[in-house]
Amino acid sequence: MKLMRVGAKGAEKPAILATDGTIRDLTGIVGDIDGAALTPEGLARIAAVDPMSLPKLDAGQRVGPCVGKVGKFIAIGLNYADHAAETNSPIPKEPIIFMKATSCIVGPFDDVTIPRGSEKSDWEVELGVVIGKEARYVDEADAMDHVAGYCVVNDLSERAYQIERGGTWDKGKGCDTFGPIGPWMVTRDEIADPQNLSMWLDVDGHRYQNGSTRTMIFGVAHLVSYISQFMSLQPGDIITTGTPPGVGMGQKPQVYLKPGQTMRLSIEGLGEQSQTTFAYAG
């Protein structure tokens, strides 16, 4: 199933993409595409309904973030061997964990705001893993039972804030609009192998990232198990799992986002995003 949320910001309706490409209203079946709907019981309730029997929604509506009320937005750094190489970083011995503020989450086609004073805003296409069942001290062999599905994430980053301003990475990762997710949350049964998905990102039509989840250092099952040793994972939490090479910081010379540019990005089977950048106007 491809689950989504459509409508104005703060008033999104839960929806499903039907096989004919129409968007169907899940209002009345579930309250939202959130933790409660993403449990095994919630997904079974949705799966029991014929999407073609549901009201059709206007395809021209805004597509919101594919998961609502996200409790934790957990990110993994330097998780692709080829990306670590382009940044001259050693291969991590254990996953690098940091948090993205949930307030950075926006829809897949919403505008991206370059923060005030930023000169090093960067892009990162990433596989998002959506939790559907509480995970606490989970063995790797059982980890996938706790995954509801997957989505595209653009893990935008302000590199100067992240690296040059002291402390942890979080301050360069949680800026408003720095977490587009969607367009859909694709349920786990539709993705045969999350470690074999092609992915790409363009800026103004130039292909910067062209990679595959095959080069992940730590795979999805390992990450779910590993993170659950340090914090419980709850339904609706999202893990964004790292990026392949081709980020702006890795270019020679380095290239960073400017106002008025357009990013397009996609992961095989998970749909496509597009965002236009704007300068902060507050």
Outline where DSSP puts E strands in the chain.
2-6, 13-17, 23-25, 56-57, 73-77, 96-99, 105-106, 112-114, 121-122, 125-131, 147-154, 157-158, 179-180, 185-187, 198-203, 206-212, 238-240, 262-267, 271-279
Alpha helical stretches, state H, the chain: 35-38, 40-47, 81-86, 159, 220-227
Q: What is the pTM of this model?
A: 0.97
Evaluate whether 146 touches 224 at the Cβ level (below 8 Å): yes
Rounded CA separation 149/84 (Å): 26
pLDDT band at residue 68 under the 50/70/90 scheme: very high
Q: Which domains does the chain have, with CATH numbers?
A: 2-57 (no CATH), 73-279 (3.90.850.10)
User: Which tokens sit at 122?
Assistant: 């960067």
Q: What is the DSSP letter of 196?
A: S
**What pLDDT score was predicted for residue 198?**
98
The pLDDT value given to residue 89: 82
Whether the per-residue pLDDT at 167 is higher than 90: the answer is no
The neighbour count for residue 40, using CB atoms within 10 Å, is 13
Q: pLDDT by residue (tens digit) across 154-164?
A: 999 999 999 99
> What are 206-247's pLDDT values in tens digits?
999 999 999 999 999 999 999 999 999 999 999 999 999 999
